[in-house]
Amino acid sequence: MKGVRVSIKMGFKNPFFIEKEYKSSISKRLKELGIERFAFSDLVCKRKKVIEDGFYAIDEARFDFTTLNFRGLHRAINNILKEGIEFKYGKVINIDVGVKRIEFFNEGYLLSPVLVLEEEGKSVDFVENPVLYNKLIRDKIMRKYENVYGKKPDNDSFIIIFRNTPDKIVEEGKIYLKSKCELYGSKELIYLANCLGLGDNNEEGFGMMSEELYFYKNK
């Protein structure tokens, strides 16, 4: 089963306000379209003005999502083009979509921060406990593989390494990390991470990987 990366490019004639909690709007929209398993990036603006409750997107903005190809994906993309995406304070209709097949890669960037949780809901910091972090992130991608394919992979090894000290985001007591990373081990598990993300809450906008860091060349 091959993965697909979909780029959602939005254009604005006037500054468009997007709420701070915009990821819940994106997640809801993708789920409504029947996309069950996915990860998506942070929303990146070519220009923006940040205020307390969110930001004004100026000119252009984009987010990408990754998923495994399925029969209804073409219909879902057409729906986005036709109906747009509803945010808290308005709908974006001026949308262009790009689609490309995901090829295997083991070195890339987190375009949305990764969250790794223990069973009781406590987040784990890679810097403080890399062994536990790797155990949990492996267990999660293993379960994801079994849910998708109904079997265990032939090779179940999986390790993540951050090549520099990751950026740490702490919100509501949870630790999120964002950085360049490398994955080693089972090619089956690594490719599934390429397609469906790393860690927890991928469908809420966390843990999406990419070979490329930037959406816009002038960044």
Note the pLDDT tens digit of each residue in 72-101.
999 999 999 999 999 999 999 999 999 999
Distance CA 56, CA 85 (A): 16
**What domains appear along the chain, each with residue ranges and CATH number?**
3-101 (3.30.70.1890), 107-210 (3.30.70.1900)
First to last CA, the chain: 34
Write down the residue that tokens 């029969």 correspond to: 71
Q: Using the predicted structure, report yes or no on whether residue 219 has a pLDDT greater than 70.
A: no
Residue 164 confidence class, pLDDT cut points 50, 70, 90: confident
List C-alpha distances in Å: 64 to 84, 129, 196, 214.
15, 30, 12, 11
The mean per-residue pLDDT over the stretch 122-129 comes to 95
Q: Using the predicted structure, report yes or no on whether residue 16 has a pLDDT greater than 70.
A: yes
What is the CA angle 184-188-189, rounded to 5? 60
H-type helices in 6-72, by residue range? 22-32
pTM of the predicted structure, to 2 decimals: 0.94
Distance CA 132, CA 5 (A): 30
The 8-class DSSP code of residue 218 comes to T
Over residues 18-56, the pLDDT tens digits come to 999 999 999 999 999 999 999 999 999 999 999 999 999
What is the CA angle 115-120-122, rounded to 5? 40
Distance CA 87, CA 12 (A): 14
List C-alpha distances in Å: 191 to 72, 106, 108, 201.
21, 8, 12, 18
Residue 135 confidence class, pLDDT cut points 50, 70, 90: very high
List C-alpha distances in Å: 199 to 38, 110, 113, 142.
12, 11, 10, 11
Percent of the chain with pLDDT over 90: 93
> Which pLDDT does position 217 carry in this prediction?
59
> Which pLDDT does position 213 carry in this prediction?
84
